[in-house]
Amino acid sequence: MTGFRDSPETEDVIILGSGVAGLTSAIYTARANLRPLIVEGRAAGGQLSLTTEVENFPGFPAGVLGPELIAQMRQQAQKFGARFLTGDATGCDLRASPLALSVDGKEFRTRALIVATGADARLLGLESEKKLIGRGVSTCATCDGFFFRGKEILVVGGGDSALEEATFLTKFASRVTVVHRRDRFRASKIMQDKALGNPKISVAWDSVIQEIRGATRGKVEGAVLRNVKTGEIREIPCEGIFVAIGHVPNTRIFEGQLDLDPSGYINTVKGTATSVPGVFAAGDVADHTYRQAVTAAGTGCMAALDAERYLERTTH
């Protein structure tokens, strides 16, 4: 991207994203007197803003609501001088220092950039699914599995992630049905053997979820399945649906400027450094393995420290 005009002020640090990774970076860089500017996006708060109760984040023995945790982290960052800008980054030019960004048409320059734009779970695209996210529909078994103890649930997908989540969920659920649109899994043989050998797991082959029941009452009550080969419609009662059909990292504006892996995640070296000096990546935008709030916080801290050290080296 070219054609950026000189901004009236060059920031020390701009952070893209206001989920756990971005807010942790904001807290650390603000405490280092770098007065970070956080571009929080129009869907502020990241994945936690879409969840209800979080029980696996350290320091909250009674659990905490996802939006409440995000709000507290935001207040903590503001307390130390972080500034927030609502808007979406729509372009960038990382070929020279200072780095250039466009946020909804307004131009910014910065000496260091922390990318914490996250990754969005691929969803089924149903209206009922949108209404029930965090109310029985989930994209993270390790985050939410505990809430489904003794209940019947569905897992949608056919890759390693889906079968891994299905196997994990048998620790809590009374029954797990894997819904897969094909007649065979894409998952590795070892994951297939593990899942298919589990007496709590059954498979709805050649099937897709056509509708999720319970949207008007605010909780999952079942799912309508359609067989893609026969057209047969049937309904399965359940209290939870876990969608495991992959994630899409939010890296579109960095294509051709940062080194990305084949799935679009940012490749990092020596901590959180990217292929461009002064640009660092934190959270799910660079993590397709763990995708937990606590690991996002950890890499957010790392990115902030890496950015601070980079600025000390290059501005003194």
Q: Has 140 been annotated as catalytic? A: yes
- Return the bridge partners of 248, or none: 120
Check if the beta carbon of residue 177 is closer than 8 Å to that of residue 234: no
Domains and CATH numbers, the chain: 10-120+247-315 (3.50.50.60), 123-243 (3.50.50.60)
Check if the beta carbon of residue 36 is closer than 8 Å to that of residue 83: yes
Pick the catalytic residue: 92, 143, 238, 306?
A: 143
Q: Has 92 been annotated as catalytic? A: no
The single residue listed with the structure tokens 């060059």 is: 10
Report how far Cα 282 is from the mean position of its chain's Cα atoms: 11
- Return the bridge partners of 202, or none: 177
The single residue listed with the structure tokens 């490749």 is: 267
CA–CA separation, 66 and 50 (whole Å): 7
Structure tokens that stand for 87 in this block: 């808007």
Rounded mean pLDDT for each run of 10 residues along the chain, 316 residues in total = 54 97 98 97 76 84 91 97 95 95 94 95 93 92 91 96 93 97 93 96 98 96 97 97 93 96 96 98 93 94 98 88
What confidence score (pLDDT) does residue 47 get? 77
Structure tokens that stand for 224 in this block: 């309508």
Per DSSP, the three-state class of 202 is strand
Pick the catalytic residue: 144, 206, 287, 306?
A: 144
Amino acid making up residue 117: T
Structure tokens that stand for 200 in this block: 């709590």
Pick the catalytic residue: 88, 93, 120, 140?
A: 140
Cis amide bond preceding 277, omega within 30: no
The DSSP string of 209-250 is: EEEEETGGGTS--EEEEEETTT--EEEEE-SEEEE-S-EEES
The DSSP string of 33-52 is: T---EEE--SSTTGGGGG-S
What confidence score (pLDDT) does residue 5 get? 45
What confidence score (pLDDT) does residue 1 get? 42
